[in-house]
Structure 1
Amino acid sequence: MTSLPENPPSLISEDDRDTAVQRLQEAYAEGHISHEEMDEGLDQVLTAKTHSELVSVLASLPELPEGNAGTTSTIAAAGGRIQRRGAWRVPRTLKVESAFGRVRLDLSRAVFEHPVIDIELQLGTGNAKITVPRDAIVDVEGLHTGWKDSRYKTRRRSRPGGPRIRISGTMGFGRLKIRHARR
């Protein structure tokens, strides 16, 4: 008969793994690690089974400044419109939740305090339109659409230094339209 160790290593959850992947991607986007270091770290994170394995991967990354840790905001409405425009402060992670109604986010004059912004959409029905700054880099790979596909045409030329906007989440019966601001 074998006995179990007194303190078995704690297994990680998918949320822990996702957070570690996000930290590695942020460190790469902010220039703290090279592409090779990110690839190696992602491989280690995706195969890690315990918290100690995750800690060893993330130990070499710079600490998050106090003001940047966990800046998440949620905009939610059961029905009706969700709209943001003008000079509004964009959090590091913006969650937009709407069962019915349309969403309009105009980021063209928004204030960005972070080089990478995550927008997580959880929309039932209704269309969404997002206007991004002219020099923004947009990633929609994490977005799942049910009924209609999203419309986004990447810019041929963009100046370096713009924010990176990652759009993820789920859209049920609406269409997402993303466009770059003209000015």
Structure 2
Amino acid sequence: MSDLHMLVSDEDRERTTKQLQQAFAEGRLTRPELEERIGLALTARTYGDLLGLITDLPAAQAVPAPEDVVELETKNDHVKRSGDWAVPRRLRVVSKYGGVDLDLSEAVIPHPVVEIDLELAYGSAKIVLPEGGTANVDGVRSDWGRVSTGDVPGRPRAGAVHVVITGTAKYGGVSVRYPRKRWFTH
């Protein structure tokens, strides 16, 4: 019997989905391609099924990739990320006079835990989580603003992204919430 017909484990499926998410983060796959391939990966039965999903992608690197940290820095502008964007494992945001809007509700988040480190002098930060996400803000210090999480739980939950927010917002605050519900009238 060929190795391609051997049955795969959940760990094999997970490894393939991580490789697909990495390819999406690198711009090699579109969102519909990612969603289709992940659906097929999660239901794959054999190594041949999984191999067919990744043969057109570069092989995983033999050497470790550089640490997945993105640093966004501005002096006067507003830092904003929303829509379909790839969230790094660690995000550091530095802003002297501007604010920060990070909307994770439609983003691709390949990591179960995302670390966000804020260094804000005069601006505030608003972080919108995907539904069900959780956030720990115990590591945030604000001298003149407030840190609020509303109805967002602070402890991790199985299957949901957990965001750990640290840093300072000297004269501003930090707000963490879920997306606002949109009401449509006919």
The answer to whether TM tops 0.5 is yes
2:179 to 175, 178, 181: 181
Is 1:120 the counterpart of 2:117 in the alignment?
A: yes
Any conservation in 1 of the 2:133–2:152 contact (CA below 8 Å)? no
Deviations 1:113-140 (A, max 9, x none): 1111000000000121110111111100
Check the 8 A contact 2:71/2:92 in 1, yes or no. yes
User: Structure 2: which amino acid aligns with 1:142?
Assistant: G
C-alpha offsets along residues 91-129 of structure 1, whole Å, 9 cap, x if unaligned? Answer: 110000000011111000111111110000000001211
Provide the identity percentage: 33
- Corresponding residue SS for 1:113: coil
Give 1:19-98 correspondences, 5 Å limit.
Answer: 66-67=64-65, 70-98=67-95
How far apart are residue 66 of structure 1 and its match? 3.3
Which of 96, 105, 121 pairs up with 1:108?
105
Alignment match of 2:165 (pick from 164, 167, 179): 167
Name the CA distance, whole Å, in 1 between partners of 2:163 and 2:180: 17
- 2:147 equivalent to 1:150: yes
TM-score normalised by L of structure 2: 0.58
Partner amino acid, structure 2, of 1:105: L
**Structure 1 residue 159, shift from structure 2 partner:** 7.0
Name the SS for the 2:106 alignment partner: coil
For 2:121 and 2:89, how far apart are their aligned partners in 1?
24
Q: CA contact under 8 A between 2:121 and 2:170: conserved in structure 1?
A: yes
TM-score (norm 1): 0.59
Runs of 4+ in 1 over 6 A off after TM superposition: none
Distance in structure 2 (CA, Å) of the matches to 1:160 and 1:154: 18
Give the Cα separation in 2 of the matches to 1:75 and 1:168. 15
The 1-side partners of 2:115 and 2:152 are apart by 19
Instruction: Show structure 1 runs of 5+ residues with no match.
Output: 1-64
Whether the aligned pair in 1 keeps the contact of 2:148 and 2:176 (CA below 8 Å) is: yes
Structure number with higher strand proportion: 1
Unpaired segments of 5 or more residues in structure 2? 1-62, 182-186
- Contact 2:134-2:157 within 8 A present in 1 as well: no
The whole-number CA distance in structure 2 between the counterparts of 1:99 and 1:169 is: 13
Are the equivalent residues in 2 in contact too, given 1:138–1:166 (CA < 8 A)? yes
CA RMSD of aligned residues (A): 2.0
